[in-house]
Amino acid sequence: MASTNSFNAHGELTVGEQSYEIYRIDTVEGHETLPYSLKVLLENLLRTEDGANITADHINAIGQWDENAEPDTEIQFTPARVIMQDFTGVPCIVDLATMREAVADLGGDASKINPLAPAELVIDHSVQIDVFGRADAFRRNVEIEYERNGERYKFLRWGQTAFDDFKVVPPGTGIVHQVNIERLAHVTMVRDGVAYPDTCVGTDSHTTMVNGLGVLGWGVGGIEAEAAMLGQPVSMLIPRVVGFKLTGAMNPGVTATDVVLTITDMLRKQGVVGKFVEFYGAGVAALPLANRATIGNMSPEFGSTCAIFPIDQITLDYLHLTGRSDEQVALVEAYAKEQGLWLDPAAEPRFSEKLELDLSTVVPSIAGPKRPQDRIVLSEAKQQFGIDVKNYGVDGDLREVPVAAGGGEHQHGGYGLKDGAVVISSITSCTNTSNPSVMMAAAMLAKNAVEKGLSVKPWVKTSMAPGSKVVTGYYEKAGLWPYLDKLGYNLVGYGCATCIGNSGPLPEEVSAAVQKGDLAVTAVLSGNRNFEGRINPDVKMNYLASPPLVIAYGLAGTMDFDFDTDPLGQDEQGNDVFLKDIWPAPEDVEATIQSSLSRDLFEKDYADVFAGDERWQGLDTPAGDTFAWDADSTYVRKPPYFDGMPKEPAPVSDISGARVLAKLGDSVTTDHISPAGSIKADSPAGRYLADHGVGPRDFNSYGSRRGNHEVMIRGTFANIRLRNQLLNDVEGGFTKAFIDGDGFSVGDQTTIYDASAAYQAAGVPLVVLAGKEYGSGSSRDWAAKGTALLGVKAVIAESYERIHRSNLIGMGVLPLQYPKGESATSLGLTGEETFTITGVEALNEGTTPKTVKVHAEGAEGPIEFDAVVRIDTPGEADYYRNGGILQYVLRSLVS
């Protein structure tokens, strides 16, 4: 739709022999001193101005942005494209397929349900490290992946043929965010003759990696992504923008990972949830693109919406290196310079807050044992481990359990396994595997270690899961694979593996020893997430580290280790070998990168990125505009969101007689809420699969079964580390029942799913009570979908992270906040009360109440307070009135 163009911004840009229409930012007063990110939003509104949803007032609000004010102006941002991975993408396509049928049921045209913004899905989350430490690990893991996921993959191939403007990157290609920066991102888009900034939303929180290229984008829940695909703008407040000035240069021995862990630590302390972070200053100009992407990637770990870098010559060099056409690179340069989006290292835009980091002050670091922001200086890691391990039941000396001799290829037994043992050492995840400087350093460290006669300890599960095939290309060119293989860091797959809980099982004898002694063993990974219970069910403590340090800890075999004073082993002459003896010199790493990383590697690996191998092409793919649901499928089922949905929404109502399903503490992440990882045989999801004829060997992971709501609802709030305060010292997906149910009575402990089923059968609404930072972590739409399907009508928390709060509204769940400074504890709530929430019905009058009245009736008498309504924008209010964002979109399309 053409812009109403009230600022006369419509113009023309000629690049070479090609002319493009553009919308000029310089027609709006105040544009000159805006941060880069807000200039991108400004252009977006100029181009999509329609006089109704997007008006001249909105455009002026960005031009006249008051950097010191609290955000209060809602705008409608229209992303240029949507990017998904398969875990979050499958339910998106399931929902689109269901919407096609629902539109027809309401008398509309099913073919209207199509992505209106280009959508790309990269299958990267389904590879699991079942086989490791051997030459055929990659081939075997891919075979197992197809065996497990064939049903889902056939469904995605159907989607690729049934929907317009939807493309799928097949398995075994790379990690979505790395594929995004290396191939899919345009930086400057062209559609229908109009050139404009590339922007995107993605169904994965680390979508922000693309910020390193100057592309404004962030992670949203699958729910919001579906709406964006269907042409709905993203409703948001013009944010505060934090300027982060970089100066100086990194010292030898310091990696991009150390920089990003330092920045994560700083920004978490600053408090940037819901804000944009933008990097500026002379230090930016000296920062390689891969380092910018590494920093952008970690935006969810600091909590910011994005973490962006402006466009400059380094951006152009990277686009050329990765195989973008000369015409595209020329367009990016011309457009950025014309629109004032080109980096000026001396400029200081107006920012809401400012921080500064001198890169020369950064020291080697790791983070753990359970949060990315808990940075530990490497030289203090042994000492800190000694303190932290006490929180895992270790008082006094580290305990040791003998490991029985195993039949496997790797473990030969005959050794003792101690608390603190590194049982997983994995080079994995988008954050670091896209960065040649740390990947090459790891491989060169491996070479030096092998040449010194060092080897990885026998209890360590080693793996190398690069983010794209290009890594293999430059390792082969540099002749470094044999050294990685010798240490056990064989290629296991190209995908998001250990970081999302796809580390695969530990060898049986190691797992048995861990469980027998209840040992506090550790994982070290080059990832971005290390939350409790995420990496592996046997592993209690998880540490983030740079790829070379991942290998160093594999050699050490324990976190109870000081690299300065403890030797990694001895050479052939019996001399002690320390980390400093095998750490590669930065100039050698750089020289090796220069000689082995070239444009032809990218051109070869991305020549036909959507074609796939013979396995993908050989899948039997169903045809037709609507999907033929298989009643026996345990992977892909038609969800109930639109069952019996009327054309007009029913009025919203107050909540009466609600009981508490879970009372939770601070920092409960979407990992605690959303089903992830392996499915236990004795869990509600395991029982469901067994009832449907699936054996435990074929359970697969929750992520792979995201297209089946029956599995997912049974795994919601079922994380093995979740602590529901309705119970004493119990971990896992359990609750105290305030109702009789199937196999339990009032007062009994039962599973959250079984309790929910009893409450729903009795017509009892549910609430969840929570602490600070509720819903931090990945943009998991199932954390909200599962909550809604369990019958939860409201969540009352001390504070929320952005994506989950918005996703709750998208599923028709009301997010409420305790009055400032109050909590469940300060108000005296035990969670055993019956809750009534009044004032919600004011939403029917077209306004959003600032607060609602909460009345909790308990054994000690009533407790009353005014809860803040966290429906932050009029758009969110519309979604809530309709029972959710998808219902709103459906009704809009039909009407």
DSSP-assigned letters across all residues of 867-882: EEE---SHHHHHHHHT
* Angle 478-479-485 from CA coordinates, rounded to 5°: 125
350 pLDDT band (50/70/90 cuts)? Answer: very high
pLDDT tens digit sequence for 254-272? 999 999 999 999 999 999 9
| % the chain with pLDDT above 70 | 99
Q: Are 652 and 844 in contact (CB under 8 A)?
A: yes
Q: Are 472 and 591 in contact (CB under 8 A)?
A: no
Query: What is the mean pLDDT of the segment spanning 776-798?
Result: 91
Is pLDDT of 231 > 70?
Answer: yes
In this predicted structure, what is the pLDDT of residue 151? 87
Token digits for 2? 């053409």
Q: Are 423 and 506 in contact (CB under 8 A)?
A: yes
Model's pTM, two decimal places? 0.85
Distance of CA 116 to the CA centre of its chain: 24
Residue 369 preceded by cis peptide, ω within 30: yes
**Sequence spans of domains, the chain:** 10-70, 81-361, 367-605, 655-667+721-894, 675-715
Burial class of residue 845 (count of CB atoms within 10 Å of its CB; 0-12, 13-18, 19+): exposed
Is pLDDT of 4 > 90?
Answer: yes
Is pLDDT of 564 > 70?
Answer: yes
pLDDT tens digit sequence for 171-191? 999 999 999 999 999 999 999
| Higher per-residue pLDDT: 671 or 584 | 584
Is pLDDT of 880 > 90?
Answer: yes
Is pLDDT of 412 > 60?
Answer: no
**Which range has the worst mean pLDDT, 310-324, 325-339, 701-715, 740-754?**
701-715
Is pLDDT of 244 > 80?
Answer: yes
678 pLDDT band (50/70/90 cuts)? Answer: confident
In this predicted structure, what is the pLDDT of residue 409? 53
Q: How far is Cα 295 from Cα 343, in angstroms, rounded to an integer?
A: 17
DSSP codes, 404-432:
PPPSSSS----EEEETTBEEEEEE-SHHH
430 pLDDT band (50/70/90 cuts)? Answer: confident
Q: What is the mean pLDDT of the chain?
A: 94
β-strand partners of 558: 421
CA dihedral 390, 394, 396, 401 (to 10 degrees): -150
β-strand partners of 83: 120, 202
Is pLDDT of 1 > 70?
Answer: no
pLDDT tens digit sequence for 73-108? 989 999 999 999 988 888 889 998 999 989 888 888
Rg (CA), the chain: 27
892 pLDDT band (50/70/90 cuts)? Answer: confident
What is the DSSP pairing of strand 81-85 with strand 119-122? parallel
For 367-605, the fitting CATH number among 3.30.499.10, 3.40.50.2300, 3.40.50.620, 3.40.50.410 is 3.30.499.10
Is pLDDT of 871 > 70?
Answer: yes
For 739, half-sphere exposure in the C-beta direction (CA atoms, 13 angstrom radius) is: 24
Is pLDDT of 459 > 90?
Answer: yes
Query: What is the mean pLDDT of the segment spanning 471-497?
Result: 96
The set of residues, in sequence order, having a beta carbon less than 8 Å from that of 408 and lying 6+ positions away, is 507, 508, 509
Neighbours of 107 (CB within 10 A): 8
Closest CA to 576 of 454, 456, 459, 483: 454
Q: Are 660 and 831 in contact (CB under 8 A)?
A: yes
532 pLDDT band (50/70/90 cuts)? Answer: confident
Is pLDDT of 801 > 80?
Answer: yes
Q: How far is Cα 189 from Cα 181, in angstroms, rounded to an integer?
A: 14
In this predicted structure, what is the pLDDT of residue 410? 53
Q: How far is Cα 672 from Cα 718, in angstroms, rounded to an integer?
A: 7
The set of residues, in sequence order, having a beta carbon less than 8 Å from that of 594 and lying 6+ positions away, is none
Domains 81-361 and 655-667+721-894 share a fold: no
In this predicted structure, what is the pLDDT of residue 779? 61
In this predicted structure, what is the pLDDT of residue 479? 98
The set of residues, in sequence order, having a beta carbon less than 8 Å from that of 798 and lying 6+ positions away, is 666, 770, 771, 772, 774, 817, 818, 822, 823
Token digits for 551? 């290998």
CA dihedral 686, 688, 691, 695 (to 10 degrees): -30
Q: Fold for 655-667+721-894, please state it.
A: Aconitase; domain 4 (3.20.19)
Closest CA to 535 of 401, 544, 731: 544
Token digits for 848? 């959003």
Q: How far is Cα 456 from Cα 568, in angstroms, rounded to an integer?
A: 9
In this predicted structure, what is the pLDDT of residue 875? 81
Alpha-carbon distance values, 732 to 208, 216, 445, 505, 520 (Å): 31, 38, 40, 19, 18
In this predicted structure, what is the pLDDT of residue 854? 98
Is pLDDT of 407 > 60?
Answer: no
Alpha-carbon distance values, 500 to 111, 423, 497, 534 (Å): 35, 17, 6, 7
Q: Which helix (H) or strand (E) holds 852?
A: strand 851-858
Is pLDDT of 3 > 60?
Answer: yes
Q: How far is Cα 832 from Cα 726, in angstroms, rounded to an integer?
A: 8
In this predicted structure, what is the pLDDT of residue 626? 85
Q: Fold for 81-361, please state it.
A: Aconitase; domain 3 (3.30.499)
Q: Which helix (H) or strand (E) holds 276?
A: strand 276-280
Query: What is the mean pLDDT of the segment spanning 113-127?
Result: 91
| Higher per-residue pLDDT: 205 or 653 | 653
**Which range has the worst mean pLDDT, 113-117, 350-354, 423-427, 569-573?**
113-117
Q: Which helix (H) or strand (E) holds 23?
A: strand 18-23
Q: Are 99 and 645 in contact (CB under 8 A)?
A: no
Is pLDDT of 126 > 80?
Answer: yes
Query: What is the mean pLDDT of the segment spanning 207-234?
Result: 90
